């Protein structure tokens, strides 16, 4: 039985999510225009077990506005991620890419994953739109999450998150990417 503040397995009509206290999760959220319709349609036709990999490849290609590289925006996102570290969650790793964000957190009892992600996205969307002098959708409505099944999965995912800018051809070494946990290690 899930903690009364956590919903266990659930879906909001897009992706299944697991929410439980003290669960380590890899979360990815992306800009609203980062997956153009033709790519979403193409990905939807692939087998379910292949979709996550295809979305990952498409995001690393940098489609859309790439707002997360504009002055002040990655700092805003990073401050939001760090704001409740140690209180609502433990922030284990993060990487702010040009059009999406990777985060690994361990949720704390009483703080649901969907509410944590909503607070990041709501605050940063409002503030980023103000900084950029525009209105409208900043983030895509859904986010991806996967819980860490064991220590090996956790270590591989942490390495994946911090190496994402290298894989995307944005830098040579993870520590060179300023807006990531690798830059702070």
Given a cut of 50, whether residue 3 has pLDDT beyond it is no
Contact 139, 31 (CB under 8 A): yes
Is 0.85 topped by the overall pTM?
yes
Task: Look at residue 54 and tell me if it is in a domain.
Answer: yes
Does 2 fall in a domain? Answer: no
Q: Is residue 30 part of a domain?
A: yes
Average pLDDT of the residues in 72-78: 97
CA distance linking residue 103 with residue 157, whole number of Å: 10
Euclidean distance between CA atoms 100 and 58, whole angstroms: 11
In a domain, 53, yes or no: yes
- Domain with 16, as residue range(s), is 8-184
Rounded mean pLDDT, 145-169: 96
Each residue's pLDDT tens digit, 4-42: 465 555 455 555 567 788 899 999 999 999 999 999 999
3-state secondary structure of 167: helix
Q: Tell me, yes or no, whether 132 lies in a domain.
A: yes
Query: Is 1 among the domain residues?
Result: no
Q: What is the DSSP string of 86-155?
A: TTTEEEEEEEE-SSEEEEEEEEPTT--HHHHHHHHHHHHHHHHHHHHT--S--B-S--EEEE--SHHHHH
Is the confidence at residue 164, as pLDDT, over 50?
Answer: yes
Number of domains in the chain: 1
Residue 3 lies in a domain: no
Residue 160 maps to a domain: yes
- Mean pLDDT across the stretch 97-115? 96
Domain harbouring 67, CATH code: 3.30.70.1290
């Amino acid at each position: 039985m899930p903690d009364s503040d956590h919903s266990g397995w659930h879906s909001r009509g897009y992706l299944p999510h697991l929410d439980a206290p003290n669960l380590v999760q890899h979360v990815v959220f992306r800009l609203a225009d980062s997956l153009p319709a033709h790519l979403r349609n193409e990905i939807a036709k692939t087998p379910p077990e292949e979709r996550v990999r295809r979305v990952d490849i498409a995001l690393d290609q940098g489609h859309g506005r790439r707002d997360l590289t504009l002055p002040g925006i990655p700092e805003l996102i990073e401050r939001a991620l760090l704001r409740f570290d140690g209180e609502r969650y433990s922030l284990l790793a993060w990487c702010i890419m040009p059009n999406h964000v990777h985060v690994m957190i361990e949720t704390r009892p009483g703080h649901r994953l969907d509410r944590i992600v909503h607070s990041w996205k709501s605050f940063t969307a409002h503030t980023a739109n103000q900084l950029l002098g525009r209105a409208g959708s900043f983030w895509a409505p859904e986010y991806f999450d996967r819980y860490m099944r064991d220590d090996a999965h956790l270590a591989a995912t942490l390495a994946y998150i911090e190496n994402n800018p290298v894989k995307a051809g944005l830098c040579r070494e993870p520590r060179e990417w300023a807006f990531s946990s690798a830059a702070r290690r």
